[in-house]
Amino acid sequence: MLEQLFGWSEAHAPDAFEALRHEFAEFEVVGAQAPRPRVALWDAVRKVLGHDTPNYAQQVGDCVSFGAKNVIEYLACQQIALGNLESFHPVHPPYLYGCGRMVGDFQIRGDGSVGSWQAVAVKRYGTLRSDFQGVPEYSGDLARRWGAPPGPPATFIDEGDDHLVRQTAPVTTVDDAVTAIDNHYPLTIASNVGFTMEPKGGDRGFHEMRGSWSHQMCVVFYSHEPELHFGILNSWGDVHGHLVDLVTGEPWPVGMLRVRASALERILSQGDSHVYSHLDGFAPQRLTDFGTGDFL
């Protein structure tokens, strides 16, 4: 049942943000150009990797970690494409999940976490690559073990400390979401807003708001054509239909939802969405070519 995959704690989110407010930067891209009509962050992913990032399904209520995992993997590909990073490594969700719950002092009984805890955890404890020596394969049981005291093994925390996310910031408006994606910064979104499982209208349709999902996902696309809309990457595998781009006709990655700006506005209004950066602050950046650098 889908309810078993929900893992965002609406009850804990407001107090978590207030307690950690001092940890966050204000999101501002100084010197940003006017947004482009359309930006698909998977363009860089496909050029760097030759394929989309693997979208395997979460098994328990660890969605907050999967939202962060997808953001960090997309961010890594943007940085490689920009010439600031060198190589790509998949991110291990149980490590993120455990570290996020550590920030929250393990106060949630059962599954679940909060976007603010996760956004602080990636700065304090960094990220762990799935292909690091000795890292177990993902499973729901592993996520629950590492999400309980004392958290992930100390050896992996030592490794994660070498790969910190440099900055995170709350995003509360659709305009800021557009600015973030236009400058190649993906963002996590957490809320109780639910959607239809498949798009209304087929592969060129929209996923409409329906029901309630206490859930975290990530945003990796926007377009103003024919109206402002966004692409949300979910963590349930290939369950949302196969979308094609309304302008180019190219296939979208699997597991995507196409949502209207009004839906994202409602999500952002709940106050637990964050943009991630591997840089100190949020510099204006546009993809023009591909180079090398250092990541993980």
Walk along the chain (296 residues) in steps of 10 and give the mean pLDDT of each run: 88 97 91 92 96 96 98 94 85 98 97 98 96 97 98 96 92 97 96 97 96 98 96 97 96 98 98 84 51 32
CATH of domain 2-277: 3.90.70.10
Quote the pTM value. 0.93
pLDDT computed for residue 284 by the predictor: 59
Preceding amide of 150 cis, omega within 30 = yes
pLDDT computed for residue 295 by the predictor: 28
pLDDT computed for residue 85 by the predictor: 75
For the chain, what are the domain ranges? 2-277
pLDDT computed for residue 10 by the predictor: 97
